[in-house]
Chains A and B, each alone.
Chain A
């Protein structure tokens, strides 16, 4: 299994809603990532988890809250989002989370904030 699976594929939420994005991989990877991608732009790193511990937070607003329940799962909890947070949210994983590793990406969750 070489897939990173993200659910849901599409999500529409209001600014007062609370929702969660989910990501799962069964490749035995120990690093997992959240990226944000606006239309026609490159992915931008948000968070990195290595061995289930948050290792990088790229100054992401607190309305985005990551969680790594175990080495196979990664969640992104959303609360009080703004319309400008509408984007494609990509999850990725890599073997160890050290330098010079390729990342494997899921298909993303397309989020619309109304």
Chain B
């Protein structure tokens, strides 16, 4: 079936370095993508979203890139901080599908001081 998945389950980076978290999706009808951050004991927290008519969107210290040709989504975090340590999920939805978000498997980001 259609699915959203991640390439790396765990990513370890040095504080101050940039982080890149990747996500592959298989539903070509998906037209809206969100990145969520989930810290231990908390619910998913919205980070940034992107629609399929864009290939890049920037926020504060975060950038999302969308490559529709290869159905790939990435989250870049600049100058990674200890507070960025969490599990990151990508989620996708398609127009006309109600608001049903399908989550990918998650990547744990560990920031070393």
Is A99 interfacial (CB-CB < 8 Å)?
yes
Q: What CA separation (Å) do A99 and B46 show in the bound complex?
A: 16
Partner of B43, one of A45, A48, A108: A108
User: How many interface residues does chain A have, given as a range?
Assistant: 20 to 34
* Contact A104 B41, CB 8 Å, known A42-B103, A99-B98: no
**B15 part of interface (Cβ distance < 8 Å):** no
Contacts of B99 in A (CB 8 A): 31, 48, 94, 97-101, 103
Q: Say which residue of B32, B42, B46, B94 sits within 8 Å of A104 (CB atoms).
A: B46
- B95 at interface, CB cutoff 8 A: yes
Contact: A56 with B43, CB < 8 Å?
Answer: no
Task: Check if B25 is an interface residue, CB within 8 A of chain A.
Answer: no
* B residues near A98, Cβ cutoff 8 Å: 98-99
A21-62 interface code vs B (CB 8 A; 1 in, 0 out): 000000000010000000011111100101000011000000
Interface residues of B (CB under 8 A from A): 31-32, 34, 36, 41-46, 49, 51, 89, 93-106
